Amino acid sequence: MKISLDEYSTVIFDVDGTLYYISPVKFLIGIDMIVYLILHPSFINDMRIINEFRRIRKENSWKRESLQKQIQTVARKHDLTYDSCYKLISRWMFERPSKYVYLFRNKAVTRLFHRCRENGINTVIYSDYPPMAKLDALNIHPDIIFYHGDGRINEMKPSAKAMETIKKRISPYGTAILYIGDGDKTDNEGAVYVGAKYVNAHRIK
């Protein structure tokens, strides 16, 4: 699917599964964790903490809570300080993928991003995870970044409250919005909230 940018003032991009293919990256991180566990057997305790964080983020009741509260809950359960728990989760879930995202980037979508920049179209990143390390690795530098945990977005996708925040921020650029994502439920629903056209990243050529 070819995307014509002539009619759009803003393009919103999801990150995980959109700017890069998520399955091979998850696989390689899994290998990294197994190797690290072999070299450091006590890492099994850290893996339990990471898995607990992943588990609660899949529960609907926790999707409406801030990233900070999610991490604080995991920290208390495992008798950790917030900072040490955040550092562990950040290392393996927010930063580690940056080793591999460029190799498995979605070239069609990243090309589209750079076309937006070249044509003066407002570019927005919206993610459920802090995306900065991944964006740097992908050489993606948007005009605006929103993510769950940034102090403005305190709910996970799909969130009408989050999309209202985004809509207010991008409204000066115009109302013709394109939303690129890989979640036909979560991202498409978000597009509806802001009156955007939704396109699945895997359909872009």
- CA-nearest of 22, 44, 24, 23 to 33 is 44
State the pLDDT at residue 171: 86
Structure tokens at 49: 């903490």
Neighbouring CB atoms inside 10 A of 183's CB total: 19
- CA-nearest of 117, 123, 132 to 170 is 123
Distance from C-alpha of 19 to C-alpha of 111, rounded to nearest angstrom:
10
Band the pLDDT of 3: cuts 50, 70, 90: confident
Band the pLDDT of 175: cuts 50, 70, 90: confident
Distance from C-alpha of 157 to C-alpha of 135, rounded to nearest angstrom:
19
Contacts of 179 (CB under 8 A, 6+ apart): 11, 12, 187, 188, 190, 191, 194, 196, 197, 198, 199
Q: How much of the chain exceeds pLDDT 70, in percent? A: 100
Indicate whether 165 pLDDT > 90: yes
Band the pLDDT of 61: cuts 50, 70, 90: confident
Band the pLDDT of 174: cuts 50, 70, 90: confident
State the pLDDT at residue 33: 97
Band the pLDDT of 71: cuts 50, 70, 90: very high
> What's the average model confidence in pLDDT over 12-19?
96
